[in-house]
Amino acid sequence: MGYISVRKANCKNCYKCLKNCIVKSIKYVNDKVEIIEDECILCGVCMTTCPQKAKKLQNDIEYIKDYLKDENVVTVASLDPSFVAAFGENSPSVAWALKKLGFDFVEEAAIGAKYVTKEYLRLIREGEIENIISSACPSINMYIQKYYPDLVKWLAPVMSPALVHGRIVKELRGNDVKVIHFSPCLARIKECAESPYVDGVVTYEQLMKWFLEEGIAPGEESESERDEYGFDNEAGYSRIYPIVDGIVFDLQHQYCKFTKTEYIEGYDLIAVSGLANLTKIFDEMQKGNIKHAFIEGSACYGGCVNGPFMPKMRSTGYKARIEVKKYADSATKSRHYDVSSVRTEFKPEPVYQDMPSEEEIRAILSQIGKNSRAQELNCGSCGYATCREKAIAVYQKKAELYICMPYMTDINQAMSNVTLSLTPNYIIAVDSDMYIKEFNVAAQKLFNITRAEALNQKLSNFIPATDFEQVIANKSSIYDKKVCYPEYNIVTEQTIVYSEERNMAIAIIKDVTQEEKDKESLYKRKIESVEMAQKVIDKQMVVAQQIASLLGETTAETKVTLNKLKNLIDAEGMNDV
Protein backbone atom coordinates (compact mmCIF):
# COMPACT_ATOMS: atom_id res chain seq x y z
CA MET A 1 0.00 0.00 0.00
CA GLY A 2 1.39 3.41 -0.95
CA TYR A 3 1.48 5.95 1.89
CA ILE A 4 2.90 8.72 -0.31
CA SER A 5 1.48 9.65 -3.70
CA VAL A 6 2.95 12.08 -6.21
CA ARG A 7 1.10 14.92 -7.88
CA LYS A 8 2.97 14.64 -11.17
CA ALA A 9 1.66 17.99 -12.45
CA ASN A 10 3.26 19.72 -9.46
CA CYS A 11 6.67 18.06 -9.70
CA LYS A 12 9.22 20.32 -11.44
CA ASN A 13 12.12 17.83 -11.32
CA CYS A 14 14.21 19.93 -8.93
CA TYR A 15 15.56 16.72 -7.29
CA LYS A 16 15.35 18.31 -3.86
CA CYS A 17 13.52 15.30 -2.43
CA LEU A 18 16.17 12.96 -3.84
CA LYS A 19 19.00 15.09 -2.46
CA ASN A 20 17.52 14.85 1.03
CA CYS A 21 16.48 11.18 0.92
CA ILE A 22 18.97 9.22 3.04
CA VAL A 23 18.21 5.91 1.27
CA LYS A 24 17.58 7.29 -2.25
CA SER A 25 14.25 5.48 -2.53
CA ILE A 26 13.05 7.87 -5.24
CA LYS A 27 13.06 7.15 -8.96
CA TYR A 28 13.25 9.72 -11.77
CA VAL A 29 12.48 8.17 -15.16
CA ASN A 30 10.87 9.77 -18.23
CA ASP A 31 10.39 13.05 -16.35
CA LYS A 32 8.30 11.25 -13.73
CA VAL A 33 9.07 10.84 -10.04
CA GLU A 34 8.11 7.71 -8.15
CA ILE A 35 8.54 6.55 -4.56
CA ILE A 36 10.15 3.10 -4.44
CA GLU A 37 7.99 1.68 -1.66
CA ASP A 38 10.10 -1.40 -0.92
CA GLU A 39 13.13 0.80 -0.25
CA CYS A 40 11.38 3.70 1.53
CA ILE A 41 11.63 4.07 5.33
CA LEU A 42 8.81 6.67 5.51
CA CYS A 43 10.85 9.35 7.26
CA GLY A 44 8.78 12.04 5.49
CA VAL A 45 11.75 14.18 4.47
CA CYS A 46 10.79 14.06 0.78
CA MET A 47 7.45 15.65 1.65
CA THR A 48 8.74 18.38 3.93
CA THR A 49 11.54 19.43 1.56
CA CYS A 50 9.43 19.52 -1.63
CA PRO A 51 8.96 23.22 -2.54
CA GLN A 52 6.12 22.40 -4.96
CA LYS A 53 4.14 20.24 -2.51
CA ALA A 54 4.12 17.48 -5.10
CA LYS A 55 3.88 14.67 -2.54
CA LYS A 56 0.55 13.78 -0.95
CA LEU A 57 -0.01 11.81 2.25
CA GLN A 58 -2.56 9.08 2.86
CA ASN A 59 -5.57 10.44 4.75
CA ASP A 60 -7.70 8.20 7.00
CA ILE A 61 -10.08 10.91 8.21
CA GLU A 62 -13.06 10.00 6.01
CA TYR A 63 -13.45 6.46 7.34
CA ILE A 64 -12.69 7.68 10.88
CA LYS A 65 -15.64 10.07 10.51
CA ASP A 66 -17.79 7.01 9.78
CA TYR A 67 -16.71 5.54 13.12
CA LEU A 68 -17.68 8.76 14.88
CA LYS A 69 -21.13 8.82 13.27
CA ASP A 70 -21.89 5.22 14.28
CA GLU A 71 -23.52 5.23 17.72
CA ASN A 72 -22.57 1.57 18.18
CA VAL A 73 -18.85 2.25 17.80
CA VAL A 74 -16.76 3.43 20.76
CA THR A 75 -13.80 5.59 19.71
CA VAL A 76 -10.68 6.41 21.70
CA ALA A 77 -8.26 9.15 20.64
CA SER A 78 -4.66 8.27 21.51
CA LEU A 79 -2.38 11.33 21.47
CA ASP A 80 1.35 11.13 20.92
CA PRO A 81 2.91 13.28 23.69
CA SER A 82 4.32 15.71 21.10
CA PHE A 83 0.83 17.26 21.01
CA VAL A 84 2.13 19.64 23.69
CA ALA A 85 4.50 21.16 21.11
CA ALA A 86 1.97 20.84 18.28
CA PHE A 87 -0.68 22.97 19.99
CA GLY A 88 1.45 25.01 22.38
CA GLU A 89 -0.58 27.01 24.89
CA ASN A 90 -3.79 25.44 23.57
CA SER A 91 -2.63 21.87 24.25
CA PRO A 92 -4.79 21.56 27.42
CA SER A 93 -7.84 22.14 25.18
CA VAL A 94 -7.08 19.39 22.65
CA ALA A 95 -9.07 16.75 24.56
CA TRP A 96 -12.14 19.02 24.59
CA ALA A 97 -11.72 19.72 20.85
CA LEU A 98 -11.45 16.00 20.01
CA LYS A 99 -14.60 15.25 21.95
CA LYS A 100 -16.31 18.03 20.00
CA LEU A 101 -15.37 16.08 16.87
CA GLY A 102 -17.17 13.08 18.36
CA PHE A 103 -14.54 10.96 20.11
CA ASP A 104 -15.82 9.15 23.19
CA PHE A 105 -12.53 9.07 25.08
CA VAL A 106 -9.23 10.93 24.81
CA GLU A 107 -6.05 9.50 26.31
CA GLU A 108 -2.30 10.06 26.16
CA ALA A 109 -0.30 7.47 24.22
CA ALA A 110 2.52 8.08 26.71
CA ILE A 111 0.61 5.70 28.99
CA GLY A 112 2.13 3.00 26.80
CA ALA A 113 5.58 4.61 26.94
CA LYS A 114 5.80 3.83 30.65
CA TYR A 115 5.67 0.09 29.94
CA VAL A 116 8.08 0.38 27.01
CA THR A 117 10.62 1.98 29.35
CA LYS A 118 10.07 -0.78 31.91
CA GLU A 119 10.86 -3.37 29.25
CA TYR A 120 13.99 -1.47 28.15
CA LEU A 121 15.16 -1.49 31.79
CA ARG A 122 14.55 -5.21 32.01
CA LEU A 123 16.69 -5.79 28.91
CA ILE A 124 19.42 -3.59 30.40
CA ARG A 125 19.35 -5.49 33.72
CA GLU A 126 19.52 -8.84 31.93
CA GLY A 127 22.53 -7.62 29.91
CA GLU A 128 22.16 -10.38 27.31
CA ILE A 129 22.21 -8.07 24.28
CA GLU A 130 25.59 -6.54 23.44
CA ASN A 131 23.99 -3.25 22.32
CA ILE A 132 20.36 -2.18 22.61
CA ILE A 133 18.71 0.12 20.05
CA SER A 134 15.37 1.64 21.07
CA SER A 135 12.42 0.56 18.93
CA ALA A 136 10.05 3.46 19.62
CA CYS A 137 10.69 5.12 16.21
CA PRO A 138 9.18 3.03 13.38
CA SER A 139 11.25 4.83 10.73
CA ILE A 140 14.46 3.79 12.50
CA ASN A 141 13.16 0.24 12.78
CA MET A 142 12.62 0.08 9.02
CA TYR A 143 16.00 1.69 8.38
CA ILE A 144 17.75 -1.03 10.36
CA GLN A 145 15.66 -3.88 8.92
CA LYS A 146 16.29 -2.78 5.32
CA TYR A 147 19.76 -1.24 5.33
CA TYR A 148 21.47 -2.59 8.47
CA PRO A 149 20.00 -6.10 8.72
CA ASP A 150 23.01 -7.25 10.76
CA LEU A 151 21.95 -4.86 13.54
CA VAL A 152 18.40 -6.23 13.86
CA LYS A 153 19.68 -8.55 16.59
CA TRP A 154 20.28 -5.41 18.71
CA LEU A 155 16.91 -3.80 17.97
CA ALA A 156 14.93 -3.95 21.22
CA PRO A 157 12.10 -6.51 20.76
CA VAL A 158 9.58 -4.08 22.22
CA MET A 159 6.47 -2.48 20.70
CA SER A 160 6.26 1.29 20.33
CA PRO A 161 4.33 3.35 22.91
CA ALA A 162 1.51 3.89 20.39
CA LEU A 163 0.94 0.16 19.95
CA VAL A 164 1.29 -0.60 23.65
CA HIS A 165 -1.28 2.06 24.48
CA GLY A 166 -3.62 0.67 21.82
CA ARG A 167 -3.27 -2.78 23.33
CA ILE A 168 -3.99 -1.44 26.84
CA VAL A 169 -7.15 0.31 25.57
CA LYS A 170 -8.47 -2.77 23.80
CA GLU A 171 -7.70 -5.06 26.71
CA LEU A 172 -9.44 -2.64 29.06
CA ARG A 173 -12.40 -1.51 26.94
CA GLY A 174 -12.81 -4.41 24.48
CA ASN A 175 -11.41 -5.35 21.07
CA ASP A 176 -14.32 -3.67 19.26
CA VAL A 177 -13.19 -0.25 20.46
CA LYS A 178 -11.64 1.84 17.68
CA VAL A 179 -8.31 3.36 18.69
CA ILE A 180 -7.27 6.34 16.58
CA HIS A 181 -3.71 7.50 17.06
CA PHE A 182 -2.66 11.14 16.54
CA SER A 183 0.98 11.77 15.70
CA PRO A 184 3.36 13.94 13.64
CA CYS A 185 4.95 10.78 12.18
CA LEU A 186 4.54 9.27 8.71
CA ALA A 187 6.09 5.89 9.56
CA ARG A 188 3.60 5.56 12.42
CA ILE A 189 0.82 5.22 9.82
CA LYS A 190 2.40 2.06 8.40
CA GLU A 191 3.25 0.66 11.82
CA CYS A 192 -0.33 1.07 13.05
CA ALA A 193 -1.84 -0.20 9.78
CA GLU A 194 0.03 -3.48 10.31
CA SER A 195 -1.03 -3.80 13.96
CA PRO A 196 -4.34 -5.05 15.44
CA TYR A 197 -4.09 -2.50 18.27
CA VAL A 198 -4.64 0.76 16.36
CA ASP A 199 -7.44 1.34 13.85
CA GLY A 200 -6.36 4.57 12.19
CA VAL A 201 -3.81 7.38 12.26
CA VAL A 202 -4.24 11.13 11.84
CA THR A 203 -1.26 13.48 11.71
CA TYR A 204 -1.31 16.65 13.79
CA GLU A 205 -1.24 18.68 10.58
CA GLN A 206 -4.35 16.85 9.36
CA LEU A 207 -6.00 17.27 12.76
CA MET A 208 -5.47 21.03 12.67
CA LYS A 209 -7.16 21.21 9.25
CA TRP A 210 -9.98 19.02 10.55
CA PHE A 211 -10.56 21.42 13.45
CA LEU A 212 -10.68 24.35 11.01
CA GLU A 213 -13.17 22.57 8.74
CA GLU A 214 -15.45 21.87 11.70
CA GLY A 215 -15.07 25.39 13.12
CA ILE A 216 -13.48 24.11 16.34
CA ALA A 217 -10.80 26.25 17.95
CA PRO A 218 -8.91 24.73 20.90
CA GLY A 219 -8.80 27.37 23.62
CA GLU A 220 -12.22 28.88 22.99
CA GLU A 221 -13.97 26.61 25.51
CA SER A 222 -14.78 27.67 29.03
CA GLU A 223 -12.76 26.42 31.98
CA SER A 224 -15.65 24.28 33.16
CA GLU A 225 -15.96 22.68 29.71
CA ARG A 226 -12.24 21.96 29.68
CA ASP A 227 -12.51 20.25 33.06
CA GLU A 228 -15.60 18.28 32.08
CA TYR A 229 -14.32 17.20 28.68
CA GLY A 230 -10.62 16.81 29.46
CA PHE A 231 -8.35 13.78 29.23
CA ASP A 232 -9.90 10.54 30.41
CA ASN A 233 -6.52 9.06 31.26
CA GLU A 234 -3.27 10.93 31.70
CA ALA A 235 0.28 9.64 31.52
CA GLY A 236 3.12 10.08 33.94
CA TYR A 237 6.67 11.23 33.37
CA SER A 238 6.92 9.10 30.21
CA ARG A 239 5.45 12.14 28.42
CA ILE A 240 9.12 13.06 28.01
CA TYR A 241 9.57 10.64 25.02
CA PRO A 242 9.18 13.14 22.11
CA ILE A 243 12.40 15.07 22.81
CA VAL A 244 16.03 14.06 22.35
CA ASP A 245 17.15 12.22 25.52
CA GLY A 246 13.47 11.63 26.33
CA ILE A 247 13.82 7.85 26.58
CA VAL A 248 17.12 8.22 28.45
CA PHE A 249 15.46 10.62 30.91
CA ASP A 250 12.60 8.17 31.44
CA LEU A 251 15.00 5.27 31.96
CA GLN A 252 16.85 7.25 34.60
CA HIS A 253 13.57 8.45 36.16
CA GLN A 254 12.14 4.95 36.55
CA TYR A 255 15.48 3.42 37.56
CA CYS A 256 15.93 6.10 40.22
CA LYS A 257 12.61 5.11 41.85
CA PHE A 258 14.07 1.75 42.83
CA THR A 259 17.78 2.44 43.17
CA LYS A 260 17.78 6.10 44.25
CA THR A 261 20.44 6.78 41.59
CA GLU A 262 20.21 7.78 37.94
CA TYR A 263 23.37 5.87 37.01
CA ILE A 264 22.48 2.70 35.11
CA GLU A 265 25.21 0.09 35.17
CA GLY A 266 26.19 -2.04 32.20
CA TYR A 267 25.30 0.23 29.30
CA ASP A 268 26.27 3.71 28.14
CA LEU A 269 23.09 5.70 27.40
CA ILE A 270 23.36 7.54 24.07
CA ALA A 271 20.67 9.68 22.42
CA VAL A 272 21.00 10.25 18.66
CA SER A 273 18.57 12.14 16.42
CA GLY A 274 18.58 12.61 12.66
CA LEU A 275 19.13 9.90 10.06
CA ALA A 276 22.55 11.23 9.04
CA ASN A 277 23.80 11.00 12.63
CA LEU A 278 22.25 7.58 13.10
CA THR A 279 23.91 6.36 9.91
CA LYS A 280 27.31 7.22 11.39
CA ILE A 281 26.66 5.39 14.64
CA PHE A 282 25.16 2.36 12.88
CA ASP A 283 28.28 2.18 10.68
CA GLU A 284 30.42 2.20 13.82
CA MET A 285 28.27 -0.50 15.40
CA GLN A 286 28.64 -2.68 12.30
CA LYS A 287 32.42 -2.32 12.53
CA GLY A 288 32.29 -3.44 16.16
CA ASN A 289 33.52 -0.11 17.50
CA ILE A 290 30.59 0.37 19.91
CA LYS A 291 29.87 -2.07 22.72
CA HIS A 292 27.48 -2.09 25.69
CA ALA A 293 25.50 0.97 24.61
CA PHE A 294 21.82 1.75 24.78
CA ILE A 295 21.02 3.84 21.70
CA GLU A 296 17.95 6.08 21.82
CA GLY A 297 17.26 6.77 18.15
CA SER A 298 14.94 9.28 16.48
CA ALA A 299 14.75 9.75 12.71
CA CYS A 300 13.77 13.40 13.15
CA TYR A 301 16.38 15.92 14.25
CA GLY A 302 15.42 17.07 17.72
CA GLY A 303 13.02 14.17 18.24
CA CYS A 304 9.31 13.72 17.54
CA VAL A 305 8.59 17.37 18.38
CA ASN A 306 10.13 18.07 14.95
CA GLY A 307 8.14 15.37 13.17
CA PRO A 308 7.30 15.96 9.49
CA PHE A 309 3.58 16.52 10.07
CA MET A 310 3.46 18.92 12.94
CA PRO A 311 1.14 21.93 12.30
CA LYS A 312 2.81 24.87 10.58
CA MET A 313 2.12 27.18 13.54
CA ARG A 314 3.77 24.98 16.14
CA SER A 315 6.44 25.39 18.76
CA THR A 316 9.83 24.59 17.30
CA GLY A 317 13.36 23.94 18.47
CA TYR A 318 14.20 24.53 22.10
CA LYS A 319 10.79 25.98 22.89
CA ALA A 320 9.15 22.67 21.98
CA ARG A 321 11.70 20.81 24.08
CA ILE A 322 11.05 23.07 27.07
CA GLU A 323 7.26 22.70 26.74
CA VAL A 324 7.43 18.89 26.66
CA LYS A 325 9.87 18.73 29.55
CA LYS A 326 7.70 21.03 31.69
CA TYR A 327 4.66 18.91 30.84
CA ALA A 328 6.51 15.74 31.86
CA ASP A 329 7.79 17.28 35.08
CA SER A 330 4.23 18.29 36.01
CA ALA A 331 2.95 14.70 35.81
CA THR A 332 1.48 13.12 38.93
CA LYS A 333 1.59 9.43 39.70
CA SER A 334 0.12 7.54 36.72
CA ARG A 335 -2.35 4.68 36.89
CA HIS A 336 -1.03 1.14 36.60
CA TYR A 337 -2.32 -1.28 33.95
CA ASP A 338 -1.79 -5.00 33.66
CA VAL A 339 -0.84 -5.14 29.99
CA SER A 340 -0.39 -8.72 28.81
CA SER A 341 2.78 -8.16 26.79
CA VAL A 342 4.78 -5.40 25.16
CA ARG A 343 7.16 -7.71 23.29
CA THR A 344 7.41 -8.00 19.52
CA GLU A 345 9.85 -9.42 16.99
CA PHE A 346 11.82 -7.64 14.27
CA LYS A 347 13.20 -9.53 11.30
CA PRO A 348 15.74 -8.44 8.69
CA GLU A 349 14.15 -7.22 5.45
CA PRO A 350 17.27 -6.35 3.44
CA VAL A 351 16.94 -4.36 0.24
CA TYR A 352 18.65 -6.28 -2.56
CA GLN A 353 19.89 -4.16 -5.45
CA ASP A 354 21.65 -5.26 -8.62
CA MET A 355 25.11 -3.68 -8.58
CA PRO A 356 27.13 -2.86 -11.73
CA SER A 357 30.76 -3.83 -12.25
CA GLU A 358 33.52 -1.22 -12.30
CA GLU A 359 33.63 -1.48 -16.11
CA GLU A 360 29.88 -0.85 -16.34
CA ILE A 361 30.15 2.17 -14.02
CA ARG A 362 32.95 3.66 -16.13
CA ALA A 363 30.99 3.01 -19.35
CA ILE A 364 27.96 4.88 -17.95
CA LEU A 365 30.08 7.81 -16.76
CA SER A 366 31.89 8.06 -20.10
CA GLN A 367 28.55 8.74 -21.82
CA ILE A 368 28.30 12.01 -19.92
CA GLY A 369 31.87 13.08 -20.49
CA LYS A 370 33.40 11.65 -17.31
CA ASN A 371 36.24 9.53 -18.64
CA SER A 372 38.42 9.79 -15.54
CA ARG A 373 37.99 10.22 -11.79
CA ALA A 374 39.27 13.78 -12.13
CA GLN A 375 36.18 14.59 -14.21
CA GLU A 376 33.83 13.27 -11.51
CA LEU A 377 32.86 16.58 -9.90
CA ASN A 378 30.55 15.01 -7.27
CA CYS A 379 28.56 18.26 -7.20
CA GLY A 380 25.35 16.57 -6.03
CA SER A 381 23.09 18.57 -8.36
CA CYS A 382 21.51 15.34 -9.66
CA GLY A 383 20.49 14.36 -6.12
CA TYR A 384 23.26 11.80 -5.58
CA ALA A 385 26.30 12.52 -3.43
CA THR A 386 28.80 11.25 -6.01
CA CYS A 387 28.94 10.64 -9.75
CA ARG A 388 29.49 6.95 -9.08
CA GLU A 389 26.29 6.74 -7.01
CA LYS A 390 24.48 8.39 -9.91
CA ALA A 391 25.96 5.87 -12.37
CA ILE A 392 24.80 3.00 -10.14
CA ALA A 393 21.29 4.54 -10.02
CA VAL A 394 21.28 4.75 -13.83
CA TYR A 395 22.28 1.08 -14.02
CA GLN A 396 19.44 0.22 -11.62
CA LYS A 397 17.01 2.25 -13.77
CA LYS A 398 16.34 4.69 -10.93
CA ALA A 399 17.71 7.75 -12.71
CA GLU A 400 18.08 9.20 -16.19
CA LEU A 401 21.60 9.25 -17.63
CA TYR A 402 21.53 12.89 -18.65
CA ILE A 403 20.37 14.27 -15.31
CA CYS A 404 23.79 15.87 -14.84
CA MET A 405 23.94 19.64 -14.45
CA PRO A 406 27.63 20.16 -15.35
CA TYR A 407 27.32 17.93 -18.43
CA MET A 408 24.15 19.61 -19.67
CA THR A 409 25.66 23.03 -18.96
CA ASP A 410 28.70 22.12 -21.05
CA ILE A 411 26.48 20.81 -23.85
CA ASN A 412 24.30 23.93 -23.80
CA GLN A 413 27.35 26.19 -23.73
CA ALA A 414 28.90 24.30 -26.62
CA MET A 415 25.67 24.49 -28.63
CA SER A 416 25.37 28.18 -27.81
CA ASN A 417 28.95 28.83 -28.91
CA VAL A 418 28.42 26.89 -32.14
CA THR A 419 25.24 28.83 -32.86
CA LEU A 420 26.86 32.19 -32.14
CA SER A 421 29.92 31.26 -34.20
CA LEU A 422 28.27 29.74 -37.26
CA THR A 423 25.13 31.82 -37.72
CA PRO A 424 25.46 34.42 -40.52
CA ASN A 425 23.18 36.75 -38.56
CA TYR A 426 24.57 39.52 -36.40
CA ILE A 427 23.72 38.92 -32.72
CA ILE A 428 24.12 41.81 -30.31
CA ALA A 429 22.90 41.99 -26.70
CA VAL A 430 22.87 45.18 -24.65
CA ASP A 431 21.93 46.00 -21.07
CA SER A 432 19.52 48.73 -19.95
CA ASP A 433 22.30 51.33 -20.24
CA MET A 434 23.00 50.31 -23.84
CA TYR A 435 26.36 48.72 -23.08
CA ILE A 436 27.18 45.72 -25.29
CA LYS A 437 27.13 42.38 -23.46
CA GLU A 438 27.26 39.94 -26.38
CA PHE A 439 28.82 40.34 -29.82
CA ASN A 440 29.00 37.30 -32.07
CA VAL A 441 31.47 36.40 -34.84
CA ALA A 442 29.33 37.79 -37.68
CA ALA A 443 29.02 41.13 -35.87
CA GLN A 444 32.76 41.22 -35.30
CA LYS A 445 33.36 40.84 -39.04
CA LEU A 446 30.82 43.51 -39.95
CA PHE A 447 32.17 46.13 -37.57
CA ASN A 448 35.79 44.99 -37.92
CA ILE A 449 36.29 44.71 -34.17
CA THR A 450 36.90 41.81 -31.79
CA ARG A 451 34.35 40.67 -29.23
CA ALA A 452 36.65 41.67 -26.37
CA GLU A 453 36.96 45.18 -27.80
CA ALA A 454 33.21 45.51 -28.37
CA LEU A 455 32.05 44.33 -24.95
CA ASN A 456 31.01 47.12 -22.58
CA GLN A 457 31.19 49.73 -25.31
CA LYS A 458 28.12 51.86 -26.00
CA LEU A 459 25.99 50.47 -28.82
CA SER A 460 25.72 53.97 -30.30
CA ASN A 461 29.41 53.75 -31.19
CA PHE A 462 28.38 51.32 -33.92
CA ILE A 463 24.70 51.75 -34.80
CA PRO A 464 21.78 53.90 -33.59
CA ALA A 465 20.38 52.59 -30.29
CA THR A 466 16.84 54.01 -30.66
CA ASP A 467 15.06 50.69 -31.25
CA PHE A 468 17.01 49.00 -28.45
CA GLU A 469 16.10 51.78 -26.01
CA GLN A 470 12.45 51.44 -27.02
CA VAL A 471 12.50 47.70 -26.32
CA ILE A 472 14.01 48.24 -22.84
CA ALA A 473 11.67 51.13 -22.03
CA ASN A 474 8.48 49.34 -23.15
CA LYS A 475 9.64 45.88 -22.05
CA SER A 476 8.31 44.56 -25.34
CA SER A 477 9.99 43.08 -28.38
CA ILE A 478 10.23 44.33 -31.97
CA TYR A 479 9.94 41.78 -34.76
CA ASP A 480 11.16 41.76 -38.40
CA LYS A 481 11.76 45.50 -38.72
CA LYS A 482 13.64 46.60 -41.83
CA VAL A 483 16.54 48.94 -41.03
CA CYS A 484 19.15 50.39 -43.39
CA TYR A 485 22.71 51.16 -42.36
CA PRO A 486 24.13 53.22 -45.27
CA GLU A 487 27.49 53.61 -43.55
CA TYR A 488 27.96 49.85 -43.76
CA ASN A 489 26.17 49.50 -47.13
CA ILE A 490 23.72 46.99 -45.74
CA VAL A 491 19.98 46.59 -45.41
CA THR A 492 18.83 44.49 -42.44
CA GLU A 493 15.75 42.82 -41.05
CA GLN A 494 16.08 42.87 -37.29
CA THR A 495 14.23 41.32 -34.36
CA ILE A 496 15.00 42.75 -30.92
CA VAL A 497 13.78 40.58 -28.05
CA TYR A 498 13.35 41.83 -24.49
CA SER A 499 14.77 39.53 -21.77
CA GLU A 500 12.80 40.24 -18.61
CA GLU A 501 15.02 38.03 -16.46
CA ARG A 502 18.17 40.02 -17.34
CA ASN A 503 16.55 43.33 -18.36
CA MET A 504 18.44 43.14 -21.65
CA ALA A 505 17.67 43.65 -25.34
CA ILE A 506 18.95 40.91 -27.62
CA ALA A 507 19.00 41.61 -31.37
CA ILE A 508 19.15 39.09 -34.16
CA ILE A 509 20.01 41.14 -37.24
CA LYS A 510 19.70 39.48 -40.63
CA ASP A 511 21.56 40.95 -43.60
CA VAL A 512 18.99 41.23 -46.41
CA THR A 513 21.07 43.49 -48.66
CA GLN A 514 21.30 40.94 -51.46
CA GLU A 515 17.62 40.14 -51.14
CA GLU A 516 16.80 43.84 -51.46
CA LYS A 517 19.08 44.11 -54.52
CA ASP A 518 17.39 41.09 -56.03
CA LYS A 519 14.00 42.65 -55.36
CA GLU A 520 15.10 45.93 -56.98
CA SER A 521 16.50 44.08 -59.99
CA LEU A 522 13.28 42.13 -60.36
CA TYR A 523 11.30 45.35 -60.14
CA LYS A 524 13.39 46.93 -62.91
CA ARG A 525 12.87 43.89 -65.12
CA LYS A 526 9.14 44.11 -64.52
CA ILE A 527 9.13 47.82 -65.47
CA GLU A 528 11.11 47.09 -68.65
CA SER A 529 8.71 44.32 -69.55
CA VAL A 530 5.74 46.65 -69.01
CA GLU A 531 7.34 49.31 -71.21
CA MET A 532 8.02 46.79 -73.97
CA ALA A 533 4.45 45.54 -73.75
CA GLN A 534 3.21 49.14 -74.01
CA LYS A 535 5.22 49.69 -77.21
CA VAL A 536 3.79 46.53 -78.75
CA ILE A 537 0.30 47.63 -77.81
CA ASP A 538 0.88 51.07 -79.33
CA LYS A 539 2.08 49.52 -82.61
CA GLN A 540 -0.88 47.20 -82.68
CA MET A 541 -3.20 50.17 -82.21
CA VAL A 542 -1.65 51.94 -85.26
CA VAL A 543 -2.02 48.83 -87.40
CA ALA A 544 -5.59 48.38 -86.22
CA GLN A 545 -6.38 51.98 -87.15
CA GLN A 546 -4.84 51.53 -90.63
CA ILE A 547 -6.78 48.36 -91.19
CA ALA A 548 -9.95 50.05 -90.02
CA SER A 549 -9.36 52.93 -92.49
CA LEU A 550 -8.86 50.57 -95.43
CA LEU A 551 -11.91 48.55 -94.41
CA GLY A 552 -13.94 51.78 -94.29
CA GLU A 553 -12.97 52.83 -97.85
CA THR A 554 -13.67 49.38 -99.26
CA THR A 555 -17.03 49.24 -97.55
CA ALA A 556 -18.05 52.60 -99.04
CA GLU A 557 -17.09 51.56 -102.57
CA THR A 558 -18.98 48.31 -102.16
CA LYS A 559 -22.04 50.20 -101.03
CA VAL A 560 -21.96 52.50 -104.07
CA THR A 561 -21.58 49.58 -106.42
CA LEU A 562 -24.45 47.67 -104.85
CA ASN A 563 -26.75 50.73 -105.08
CA LYS A 564 -25.96 51.12 -108.78
CA LEU A 565 -26.70 47.47 -109.40
CA LYS A 566 -29.97 47.75 -107.53
CA ASN A 567 -31.07 50.80 -109.54
CA LEU A 568 -30.24 49.03 -112.78
CA ILE A 569 -32.35 46.05 -111.86
CA ASP A 570 -35.27 48.28 -110.87
CA ALA A 571 -35.10 50.13 -114.26
CA GLU A 572 -35.17 46.92 -116.28
CA GLY A 573 -38.27 45.77 -114.40
CA MET A 574 -40.21 48.96 -115.30
CA ASN A 575 -39.41 48.57 -119.06
CA ASP A 576 -40.81 45.01 -119.12
CA VAL A 577 -44.12 46.32 -117.84
Instruction: Return the pLDDT at 537.
Output: 78
Task: Give the range among 3-7, 90-94, 305-309 with minimum mean pLDDT.
Answer: 3-7
Task: Name residue 297's beta-bridge partners.
Answer: 272
DSSP H helical ranges for 271-404: 275-287, 317-329, 358-366, 387-395
Instruction: Return the pLDDT at 382.
Output: 84
Write the Ramachandran bin of 15: left for phi over 0, alpha for psi from -120 to 50, otherwise beta. left
DSSP classification of residue 334: P
212-250 pLDDT, tens digit per residue, is: 999 999 988 888 887 788 888 878 999 999 999 999 999
397-421 pLDDT, tens digit per residue, is: 888 887 787 777 776 666 666 666 7
Task: Name residue 293's beta-bridge partners.
Answer: 268
* Mean pLDDT estimate for the chain: 88
Instruction: Return the pLDDT at 520.
Output: 80
The CATH class that applies to domain 423-511 reads: alpha beta
CATH homologous superfamily, domain 59-329: Fe-only Hydrogenase (Larger Subunit); Chain L, domain 3 (3.40.950.10)
7-42 pLDDT, tens digit per residue, is: 877 888 888 898 899 999 998 877 778 899 999 999
Amino acid in position 547: I
Task: Give the range among 147-156, 519-528, 556-565 with minimum mean pLDDT.
Answer: 556-565
Q: Are 496 and 469 in contact (CB under 8 A)?
A: no
Instruction: Please choose, from the candidates 362, 356, 367, 368, the residue with its C-alpha nearest in 3D space to the C-alpha of residue 398.
Output: 356
Torsion angle (degrees, nearest 10) of CA 227, 228, 231, 236: 50
DSSP 56-111: EE---HHHHHHHHH-TT--EEEEE-TTHHHHHGGGGGGHHHHHHHHT-SEEEETHH
Average the pLDDT over 149-164 and give the result: 97
| Phi (first) and psi of residue 298, to 5 degrees | -135, 130
CA 143 – CA 40 distance, rounded (Å): 9
| Phi (first) and psi of residue 23, to 5 degrees | -110, 0
Task: Give the range among 189-203, 416-430, 473-487 with minimum mean pLDDT.
Answer: 416-430
**Those residues with Cβ within 8 angstroms of residue 389's Cβ, 6 or more apart along the chain or in another chain:** 24
Average the pLDDT over 195-202 and give the result: 96
Task: Name residue 202's beta-bridge partners.
Answer: 182
* CA 122 to mean position of chain CA atoms: 46
Instruction: Return the pLDDT at 189.
Output: 94
Instruction: Return the pLDDT at 524.
Output: 84
CA 326 – CA 316 distance, rounded (Å): 15
Average the pLDDT over 142-147 and give the result: 97
Q: With 80 as the cut, is the pLDDT of residue 287 above it?
A: yes
Average the pLDDT over 436-463 and give the result: 89
Instruction: Return the pLDDT at 451.
Output: 86
CA 454 – CA 51 distance, rounded (Å): 42
Q: With 80 as the cut, is the pLDDT of residue 185 above it?
A: yes
Instruction: Return the pLDDT at 261.
Output: 65
CA 404 – CA 379 distance, rounded (Å): 9
432-447 pLDDT, tens digit per residue, is: 999 998 888 888 888 8
Name the more confident of 434 and 558. Answer: 434
Name the residue ranges covered by the structural domains of the chain: 59-329, 358-409, 423-511
Instruction: Return the pLDDT at 577.
Output: 46
Rg of the Cα trace of the chain?
44
Burial annotation 503-518 (CB, 10 A radius, 16+ → b, else e): ebbbbbbbbbeeebee
Task: Give the range among 41-55, 382-396, 419-433, 444-458 with minimum mean pLDDT.
Answer: 419-433
Instruction: Please choose, from the candidates 204, 180, 205, 209, the residue with its C-alpha nearest in 3D space to the C-alpha of residue 193.
Output: 180
